[in-house]
Amino acid sequence: MSAIKMDGKALSAKIRNQILAETEELKASGIVPGLAVILVGDDQASQIYVRNKEKACTECGFYSEKHILPATATQDELLELIDILNKNPKISGILCQLPLPEQISEDAVIAAIDPKKDVDAFNTSNVGKIMTGDYDFLPCTPAGVMELLKEYNINAEGKQCVVVGRSNIVGKPMAMLLLHENGTVTICHSKTNNLTEICKSADILVAAIGKANFITADMVKEGAVVIDVGMNRNEEGKVCGDVSNDVMEKASYMTPVPGGVGPMTITMLMKNTIKAAKLQNSIK
Ligand code: GUN
């Protein structure tokens, strides 16, 4: 058996078209969704992510601004920029690309972004709302995964869902969204005993570890749905996920890397930006 590839690129294109149509409607009433992306330093991967986010803004008809600060920027300089963007009515959403240079506290930066403009949903008030299920914004990567599951009619209800990775950005909110869909959720991490056994129990396995080809075929149940959130480079410098290619032969559905979760993450950022524009203009 070879898994059905879950095409995040195609689904993204479809959703971005819907967002573009919605943007045109908003524009007719004088509202233009606007996203500000901040990049501090010259991390190569971050540069590519930021470029893709700008491209997506253009595709969705948004106004966008890119702010590039040198790697030597101080925390105060960054907080000052965030303050200006918080007050700018043209800006519906603010995204500060992580990671940040070590002289800057990520927590301080996340806390400084107005929760109504926090399109990453990283601010503690938005994180808290995700816990209760009464949220404005969903974090982009887990939201993208849920959209992919929906598109392929994969229902988490009653299923064993195993999330490998406990980051604030992906693992923890991913577990919460699967729980909201009535999945039975286990979160695994670097200190987990019997990792292979737990992964093998998964009907839906989400790999968000950040290690190339970490999940191998012996860790996967025949017919499992495997979601690969990883974006790594192997020894030859080629982009690869957290899941080894041989898992394709065991899974029923699997997301490719690239072209699976990655494009969905950016599309969910666009969805959050249009939501932010509506919220700030009291539109449901
Ligand atoms: N770096 C890696 N992923 C993300 C993300 O989703 N948002 C931000 N702001 N930075 C990131």
Weakly modelled stretches of the chain, pLDDT under 50: none
Nearest CA-CA partner of 187 in 154, 163, 159: 163
246 catalytic residue (yes or no): no
Question: How does DSSP assign 125-189, residue by residue?
Answer: HHHHHHHHT--S---HHHHHHHHHHHHTT---TT-EEEEE---TTTHHHHHHHHHHTT-EEEEE-
183, exposed or middle or buried, with CB in 10 Å at 0-12, 13-18, 19+?
buried
Say which DSSP state 256 is in: -
- Note the pLDDT of residue 235: 87
Q: What is the pLDDT of residue 86?
A: 98
Q: Which atom of ligand 1 is nearest to the CA of 46?
A: 1
Q: What is the pLDDT of residue 186?
A: 98
Q: Whose CA is nearest to atom 9 of ligand 1?
A: 97
pLDDT at 252: 98
By most ligand atoms within 8 Å of CB, the mutation choice from 38, 53, 97 for ligand 1 is: 97
Ligand 1 center–CA 179 separation, angstroms: 23
Cβ 170 vs Cβ 229: under 8 Å: yes
What is the CA(97)–ligand 1 centre distance, in A? 5
How confident is the model over 179-212, as pLDDT tens digits? 999 999 999 999 999 999 999 999 999 999 999 9
- Tens of pLDDT, residues 267-284: 999 999 999 999 999 987
pTM of the full structure? 0.97
Domains (range + CATH), the chain: 30-115 (3.40.50.10860), 140-261 (3.40.50.720)
Residue-level pLDDT at 1: 75
